Amino acid sequence: MENNNYTDKEIAIFNGVIDLIRRGANVYSVTVSEIAQASGVGKGTIYEYFSTKEEVISKSILYNIEQEMDYAIRRIESKLDFKSRYYEALKIIVENFDNKSSTINLLLSTGGISQLYEYIIDEEDLIPSYIQRIEGIIDNLLQMGYEEGIISSEEDQYYKRMVMTSSIAGFLSYINNRERYANIDTAKAMDMCYKMVIKSLN
């Protein structure tokens, strides 16, 4: 999904949908009239660009997820070494979990991803592209670690990716269950994940 393929009105509509959800509207019961009002456009304008309400919602969700992904990538790439980039990725995870206005948290609060899937099924070809972007971030990070002498070149790329994704999955589990780990603060959990990566890949 390329942002520059959308007109200003389409982007206003996308933002209107997310704004409605942020204000407590249920994504599954919101009306086209409500979307139009939140977007500052006429109801007829919605149907000039989209065939159904479901299409409006699915594209709004995916647009906002991509906006957040682009922002995360810029933040990670602004760091100049392997460790700083890795820690920045973990910080972004924490912020998204703690930020009730993040797209993922908003969607979870409206009924769950399983129901949401019905709204984005027509856009499912975009999911592999998201995965490829994430793999690209990981590969670039691994290359940086190799150039710095932190990452060994002996293991194959699949193993290296698996270590990175496993460490992030472990961190996600910690963030989602922080009340169970009263003796471990977020900084210590980050250090443990980084230690896991270094010990596994050096």
Q: What percentage of the chain exceeds 90 in pLDDT?
A: 47
What is the band of 21 on the pLDDT scale with cuts at 50, 70, 90? confident
Long-range pairs, 132-138, Cβ under 8 A, ≥24 = 133/69, 133/73, 135/161, 137/73, 137/76, 137/89, 138/164, 138/165
Which has the higher per-residue pLDDT, 103 or 66? 66
- Give just the sign of the alpha carbon dihedral 36, 42, 47, 50: negative
Stated pTM of the model: 0.78
Per-residue pLDDT tens for 97-152?
887 666 666 555 555 444 555 555 555 566 677 778 888 889 999 999 999 999 98
pLDDT of residue 2: 46
User: 105: closest CA among 61, 145, 139?
Assistant: 61
Indicate the residue type of 194: Y
The answer to whether the CB of 130 falls within 8 A of the CB of 1 is: no
Q: 154-179 in b/e burial notation, b at 16+ Cβ within 10 A?
A: eeeeeebeebbeebbeebeebbeeee
Q: What distance in Å separates the CA atoms of residue 196 and residue 81, rounded to the nearest whole number?
A: 18
Domain extents in the chain: 3-201
pLDDT, tens digit, 9 for 90 and up, residues 153-170: 888 889 999 999 999 999
Q: Residue 10 and residue 56: Cα distance in Å, rounded?
A: 9
The domain covering 3-201 belongs, at the CATH homologous superfamily level, to Tetracycline Repressor, domain 2 (1.10.357.10)
- 44 DSSP 8-state letter: H
- Which tokens sit at 192? 């443990």
CA distance 129 to 177: 30
Q: For residues 197 and 167, is the Cβ–Cβ distance under 8 A?
A: yes
Tally Cβ neighbours within 10 Å of residue 43.
14
